Structure 1
Amino acid sequence: MTVHLIADSAADLPRSYFEENGIGFIPLRVSLSDKEFEDAVTIDADQIFEAMQNGETPKTSQASPQTIKNVFLQYAETGDPALYIAFSSGLSGTYQTAVMMANEVKEEFPDFDLRVIDSKCASLGYGLAVRHAADLCINGNTIQEIETSVKNFCEQLEHIFTVDDLTYLARGGRISKTSAFVGGLLNIKPLLQMEDGKLVPLEKIRGQKKLFKRIIELMKERGGDWGNQTVGISYAANEEKAIDMKNLIEDTFKPKEIIMHSIGSTIGSHAGPGTLAIFFLKK
């Protein structure tokens, strides 16, 4: 029996990937200049980054309940099981809303096997989990096998983030404006990581060379089995820096595959242009 896969725009995968693999798409929402947009549908990340560089502060919100319900209903009518892998509940309320909408849909379609997973992942890390699930769907795994495997995958996934300009985190209330000003003067680059679905500070590095060196050290400490895994790199209006990071990772670890994609509007609205993130599996 076919298992249908659903994900949302915070996975930071190209829309073409969703379309080519028949994956249901749920857009999160972004507000900019008093107008509301659907992430990756009516606005793209480049527009967000340009606006932020011009001093605007976009705001984000979870996917609307009706949007989520409509996607679920679409699959309920097929009679096949469906699995929604959601953006981390630590960063968005979309997962909780999806659980409520799933219960409503199941009241109307009691035989519909619909499952909702809190990935506790973000950006292309979340995207790697979606790709993993898609491969399992193609291979004909059952929904139980896919659900179990995806949960294990997400638990093993490392997220290492760095931002180029602390000002954007200050605007969003993540750090004080004084810290952002001093950090900028000293060329301090913060490293952040995901813990239980939330983005938390790891350490501060001065200068890009030391930053790249430290990221490689963390990958050596935490990662492994490189020849059998895909590394993800997401970036925000700094593709050249991401390519430099990609080349360094290739030379050091020779992973099976490295995929790159721009950070989307949702996460980009908080992190800002210049953000770089690396995703890989733990040892």
Structure 2
Amino acid sequence: MRIGLVVDSACDLPYDYFKQHDIELLPITVRIGDAILADHRDERATLQFLNTHVAARGHEAETTPFTVEQIHDLFIRRLVIDYDYVFCMTITKTRSPIHENALQASYSILNDYKAVRAAAGNNTPFALRVIDTQNLFAAQGILAVEAVRLREAGEGAPKIRARLENLALYTHGYMIPRDLHYLRARTRSRGDRSVSLLSATLGSALDIKPVLHCNRGETGPVAKIKGWDGAVQKLFNFTIKRIEAGLMTPTVCVSYGGDLDELRALPGYDRLRAACADNNIEMFSSLMSLTGMVNVGKGSLVVGFAADGPAFEA
């Protein structure tokens, strides 16, 4: 059985990984004023857009995911021919309409695929499964990497589906925003009152950085730590503890809202890389998606992994 994998462009993994493993992207289009870019995970284009538009006016950005019709057309045009079963893994449905769009598209895809496959000389059934990763950004990458691993191991679609749906429940994403004023402006533009003016002002004045946690579609602060470097170091140290205690998959994903040389220079990053190597964990470091950066701000950090254990401990 030919198994295909699809993610939306908010999923933070290196561009080369998507290409190497034939992972299809559902691009999200970002518009800031007259500037428009469809996010295809092109790192050079993303950094140029970031430095030109996002830093100053990113909180005004409009993000447009693939519509139901666009997802339907992508599958009918190519994916129903190239594959027999496709897993479409989306950003958490609590933060984006992508999951609902993909789910709605799946109904018409399953109604329309037979003639397309027959014309290509294939009369066997086609199936697809839309999976809510229940997470964001780097943490979305955990399911995508596991899907690749299972596919390459020759596992069948039922086992892959069960594994991914269970793994989503234990995948954790942790984020440290660099600029609370930006995050507040962005959340207000989206109608989200989760970052108040008082907390943003006090956090910036006192240099307090929140650690935000996402699991099972729910997001919220789990710690407030003095200083950017201190917060980053504590998040990396916590991740090392979870690695040493045992993860559910041999994968850690890290994404950063800026040049990756800045990420590699962060305090504790080298220790995290070493801990991954010592424990046979594959670590993926990537530029945060353009969608992620316009929503949480330039210079933000996200770490994702899957584990059954305690939440963040400062």
Post-superposition offset of 1:139: 1.8
Give structure 2 stretches of 5+ with no counterpart. 115-124, 189-193, 309-314
| 1:61 and 1:92 in contact (8 A); partners too | no
Please state if 1:80 is matched with 2:105: no
Aligned to 1:52: 54
**Could you tell me whether the CA contact under 8 Å between 1:48 and 1:269 is conserved in 2?**
no
Alignment of 1:65-214 (within 5 A): 65-73=68-76, 74-78=78-82, 80-109=84-113, 111-172=125-186, 173=188, 174-214=194-234
Structure 2 counterpart of 1:26, which letter?
L
Q: Report the equivalent of 1:247.
A: 270
Judged with a 3 Å threshold, the aligned counterparts in structure 2 of structure 1 residues 220 and 14 are, in CA distance, closer, same or farther, namely closer
Distance 1:114 1:251, change over 3 A: closer
Query: How far, CA to CA, are the matches of 2:41 and 2:225 in structure 1?
Result: 36
Alpha-carbon distance change, 81 to 228 in structure 1, aligned in 2, over 3 angstroms:
closer
Looking at structure 1, the residues matched to 249 and 102 of structure 2 have their Cα atoms a distance apart, in angstroms, of 33
- Counterpart Cα distance in 2 of 1:240 and 1:105: 42
> What's the % identity of the aligned pairs?
22
Q: Quote the Cα distance in structure 1 between the aligned partners of 2:300 and 2:155.
A: 36
Instruction: State the 1:220 CA deviation.
Output: 6.0
* 2:296 corresponds to 1:271: yes
Count how many residue pairs are aligned between Structure 1 and Structure 2. 283
* Structure 1: gaps (5+ residues): none
Hey, what's the Cα distance between the residues in 2 that align with 1:60 and 1:227?
Answer: 33
AA of the residue aligned to 1:275: S
Matched, 1:237 2:258: yes
- Aligned CA RMSD, in angstroms, stands at 2.5
Shifted more, 16-25 versus 265-274: the winner is: 16-25
CA deviations on 1:89-131 (whole Å, 9 max, x unpaired) are 1111011011111100111136321111111122121112111
Q: Paired residue for 1:261?
A: 286
Question: Which residue is equivalent to 2:32?
Answer: 32
What is the aligned partner in structure 1 of residue 246 from structure 2? 225
Q: Secondary structure in 1 aligned to 2:10?
A: helix
How far does residue 71 in structure 1 lie from its aligned partner after superposition? 2.1
For residue 93 of structure 2, give the secondary structure of its aligned residue in structure 1: coil
1:153 Cα deviation after fit: 2.1
TM-score by length of 2: 0.81
Residue-by-residue CA offset, 1:44-75 (whole Å, 9 max, x unaligned): 43244322322443221322222211222122
CA offsets 1:133-175 (integer angstroms, 9 cap, x no match): 0121122211111111112222221211101110121111241
What does residue 21 of structure 2 align with?
A: 21
Instruction: For residue 88 of structure 2, give the secondary structure of its aligned residue in structure 1.
Output: strand
Task: Choose 45-54 or 87-96, whichever is displaced more.
Answer: 45-54
Aligned counterparts of 1:220 and 1:175: Cα–Cα separation in 2: 29
